[in-house]
Structure 1
Amino acid sequence: MRVPSRSPGQQPGPAVAPAAPARRLPTAGSRPPEPDPAAYRAAVTELLVEVGALADAPSTRARQVLLDQRLREPAIAAVLDATPQGFVGARETLLLEVARYQPNARSSAADLTALVRIYLLSRIDVMWWRDVPTFATDAQVNGSTDLVDLEWLRRRDLLRFRYLEQPTGVLHRGWRAVRRRVLPDATPRTAGLMFRRARREVVALLNDLGREFALAAPRGTPPLWVTSLVRSAEHQYRLRRLGYAAMVPSGHCLGWAADLEMAWFARFGARETLARLLLDRQAAGEINVVDEGQAWHICLAPAARRRLRRAYEAEMGI
């Protein structure tokens, strides 16, 4: 099966010379240009249209050919090459993820197109923070001095967002299940945070977003809701075994990513408001945004780190 071309094909009328040379795929020995997140996102968006056209099962080989070719385009290759895995590792990981993909209710990747989108756009996170060590184990997350305890901050009214912790015992899980049956829409449908810890800069970012969202959202809208923060690589692999689209490597395992509830806010007419705020931040170069359906994944950009660290210290009176 041939991969569909983006060309409109032969057109009537006299032949016209192209205004610009066609894009070339980089050769094995060529060096990708400097990474440009905006150009990368645009190229990924084009790629996703073509992946969607090959979503049926008989197109497996055509999808592999398409991905292998399009990932070599300079705008995409530059970002993948700058990740810890390098271009080859990132490409092989994506091809393996696509080959193994099985839709399930737990995964944020509702289809193959979503899987490719989530994987490729989240590579910006690991490109940005490629020199930061991964939190390999749960113990490293719980013991890190780079992370602060959200519960300590919440009790002192220093957070402008909400979250739930994962239930830790039978009684807690039972109470959560009963509450969800009695008040099914009182909170987002999320498992909650495995670790109630975060980097100081991420807390400042979420507080900033929380204040902005509170001002922009319709009256009566609940505060910003965070569904996931830092994770250990150990926990990331647990999520993968359970069927979640938990990519590796991940910005969550570096401590710089968070997931924000989106779907629940549609009940209050505030989903589009929050989406606009996040995309504006992305356009300003402060965060990376990945649409994962019910929740959107965000990652702090290195360029915003210093400003947000100062904001955290000012807010906490340090």
Structure 2
Amino acid sequence: MRVPSRSPGHQPGSAVASAAPARRLPPAAGRRPGPEQPDLAAYRAAVAELLVEVGALADAPSTTARQVLLDQRLREPAIAAVLDATPQGFVGARETLLLEMARYQPNTRSSAQDLTALVRIYLLSRIDVMWWRDSPTFLTDGQVDTSTDLVDLEWLRRRGLLAFRYQEQPATVLGRGLRAVRRRLRPDATPRTAGVRFRRARREVIALLNDVGREFAAAARPGTPPLWVTSLARSAEHQYRLRRLGYAAMVPSGHCLGWAADVELAWYGRFGARDLLADLLLARQEAGELNVVDEGQAWHLCLAPTAQRRFRRAYEAEMGV
């Protein structure tokens, strides 16, 4: 299977600019990156090659050899160009990766099931950070809850304006208990996910998820559940909370900028639709619409800046605003 690709800053600012109807971008085969833009196809290919070498040095005695390998490979032009364009710059991004690897402890909560997955998630998620390096970070939970740049999904869901599903994290002990009972009674009725902590997202991201949801529903076999979203905008405060719990929550993160979301993949294997959804997402990445990161059970998506205007206009057209 193809290897897909997978964010802090200042305080949240004003609403983002407008965007266009939800039509798919033309294939990216003939497009070349602008003079100031890193070549993302070359970056992803170089990362894929690096992951093979990291996998061969994944055992504990190879720590020094891994560091030497990373020192060499991260300096390759295709990789260095992206890392240098992130807010941390090349040195900061490199040091953060080495520190993440030094601290890594596998656990059942983390999407990084081994060191190779950790490196993949970190490096491919740097595309998000590079794209949106000038976007304000949501530092606290309160900023996510009150930002006018974000929309409450529940208001839209109740009006039938969403083409995807989600479930919120239970806020009380009773709620968590009821969730556990439902899972015991119907273990595969919904994905095994904690649910979204914040049910808020940028307008452009909502339009993107609606577009993906409609495409998936049209292509999947009858009876396949709708697209399921497992995470949306988050605060940096919550990102560090997730890290303390053992999750592979990268810092900086596209979630804390409001431009990223996670969608369930593994659960759709029960319906013979996992590969279909994966292919749909990868096709959008190849078209330059998304950055995609394989995180195992769920895949991380980040909207490309070049698609922002189009999806803002799509949101306005769908919602009648």
TM-score, structure 1 as length reference: 0.89
2:224 maps to: 221
| Identical amino acids, percent of aligned pairs | 84
> Deviation at 1:147?
0.2
CA distance in 1, matches of 2:40, 2:222: 35
Residue 110 of structure 1 deviates from its aligned partner by 0.5
**3-state SS of 1:312 partner:** helix
Corresponding position of 2:308:
305
Q: What SS is found at the alignment partner of 1:258?
A: strand
Verify the 8 A CA contact 1:195 1:231 in the aligned structure 2: yes
Residue 297 of structure 2 is aligned to residue 286 of structure 1: no
> Structure 1: 5+ residue runs without aligned partners?
1-31
Aligned to 1:272: 275
Match of 2:251 among 248, 253, 256: 248
1:143 partner letter: T
Find out whether 1:167 has 2:154 as its counterpart. Answer: no
The alignment status of 1:110 with 2:113, answered yes or no, reads: yes
d(CA) in 2 for partners of 1:173 and 1:260? 22
Equivalent of 1:141, from 137, 140, 144?
Answer: 144
Bigger Rg, which one: 1
The 4+ residue runs of structure 1 with deviation greater than 4 A are: none
User: Letter of the aligned partner of 1:232 in structure 2?
Assistant: S
Residue aligning to 1:73: 76
Q: Write out per-residue CA displacement over residues 49-86 of structure 1, whole angstroms, 9 at most, x where no aligned residue.
A: 00001011100000000011100000000000000100
Normalising by structure 2, what TM-score? Answer: 0.89
Q: How has the CA–CA distance of structure 1 residues 48 and 33 changed in structure 2, closer, same or farther, with 3 Å as cutoff?
A: farther
**Paired position in structure 2 for 1:8:** none
Residue 256 of structure 2 is aligned to residue 257 of structure 1? no
Count how many residue pairs are aligned between Structure 1 and Structure 2.
287
The code of the aligned residue for 2:125 comes to S
Partner of 2:208: 205
Q: Residue type matched to 1:179 in 2?
A: R
User: How far is the alpha carbon of 1:287 from its aligned partner?
Assistant: 0.2
Residue 157 of structure 2 is aligned to residue 154 of structure 1:
yes
In 2, are the aligned partners of 1:282 and 1:288 still within 8 Å (CA)? yes
- C-alpha distance in 2, partners of 1:289/1:272? 14
> How large is the Cα RMSD of the aligned pairs?
0.9
Matched, 1:131 2:95: no
Deviations 1:223-269 (A, max 9, x none): 00000000000000000000000000000000000000000000000
Q: Is the Cα contact below 8 Å between 1:33 and 1:75 reproduced in 2? A: no
Structure 2: state its 5+ residue gaps.
1-34
Three-state SS of the structure 1 residue aligned to 2:310 is helix
3-state SS, counterpart of residue 158 of structure 1: coil
Task: Please give the alpha-carbon distance, in whole angstroms, between the structure 1 residues aligned to 2:59 and 2:226.
Answer: 40
In 2, the alpha carbon distance for the partners of 1:170 and 1:75 equals 49
Q: In the alignment, residue 237 of structure 2 is paired with which amino acid?
A: E
- For 2:97, which of 91, 94, 97 is the aligned residue? 94
Name the residue aligned to 1:188: 191
Deviation for aligned residue 1:170: 1.7
Task: Report the 3-state secondary structure (helix = DSSP H, G, I; strand = E; otherwise coil) of the residue aligned with 1:276.
Answer: helix
